Amino acid sequence: MARKRFDDSNCSVARALNEVGDWWSLLVVLHAMYGIRRFVDFQQELGIARNILCDRLARLVDNEVLKKVDVGEHGSRFEYRLTEKGRDLFPIVIALRQWGDKWNPAPDQTPLDLRDRETGRAILPVEVQDADGKPLTVRDVFVPEGSDTGIEKKTPDGKKSA
C-alpha cells in the first residue's frame, strides 16, 4: 500500500483516521461494541486474515482503543476489551451505521434499531447540534476568525478554506 502516515498531521481528523480509519479497525471496534472480545470470534465474524487481525488488534491496543486482558479461563486466554477511548467511538460508529442505512440500505436488512435500556425507546439520528440542541448542517456553521480548521489556508488568491 505504501500508505502515507498521518501521525504528524496537524489535522486531528487525519490523526484519528490514522488510528481507526483503515478498512478493518473500525469494524473491529464495532464488533467489540456488539460484545465480541476474543481473537477467534473477531476472526470468524469479520472474515479477516489472521495476520491482519493480529496487526489491527495490536495497533488498537497500542493506541489505547482496546485493552488486552489475560483471562485464565478454559482454553481462552485473552480478551480484547474497549477502553473509554474506544467506547468514545460510539457516536462515530452509530453515525456511520445510520448513514449507511439511510443511503445504502440493504434490501434484506432492517435499519439498526438501537434502544435505550432504560426507556426502551429508539435512539435519535446522530446530529451536529447547536448549544440548544438544534440540528445543524455543514452550511449552518462557521469557523471563527483566529480559529483554525487544521488545514492549510492558501489565501493569496482570495480563496478561503472555511
Question: Could you say which residues in the range 5-24 bind its own copies, by CB under 8 A?
Answer: 10-17, 19, 21-23
For 30, 83, 103, 138, the CA distances from 141, given in Å and listed in that order, are 29, 32, 23, 6
For position 141 contacting its own copies by CB under 8 A, the verdict is yes
Q: Which stretch binds its own copies (CB under 8 A): 54-62, 66-74, 80-88?
A: 80-88
Q: Which of 58, 69, 71, 128 binds its own copies (CB under 8 A)?
A: 128
Q: What is the three-class DSSP state of 157?
A: coil
**DSSP state for residue 61 in the 8-state scheme:** H
Q: Could you give the CA distance from residue 16 to residue 130 in angstroms, rounded to a whole number?
A: 23
Q: Could you give the CA distance from residue 65 to residue 59 in angstroms, rounded to a whole number?
A: 9
Task: Retrieve residue 146's grid coordinates.
Answer: 483566529
Residue list 142-161, contact with DNA (CB under 7 A): none
For position 57 contacting DNA by CB under 7 A, the verdict is yes
For position 138 contacting its own copies by CB under 8 A, the verdict is yes
* Minimum distance from residue 39 beta carbon to DNA (Å): 3
Pick 75 or 133: Cβ nearer DNA: 75
* Of residues 78, 43, 44, the one with CA closest to residue 61: 78
* Of residues 77, 56, 81, the one with CA closest to residue 68: 81
* Minimum distance from residue 58 beta carbon to its own copies (Å): 18
Which residues would be at the binding site for DNA (CB under 7 A)? 1-4, 22-24, 38-40, 47-52, 54-55, 57, 68, 72, 74-79
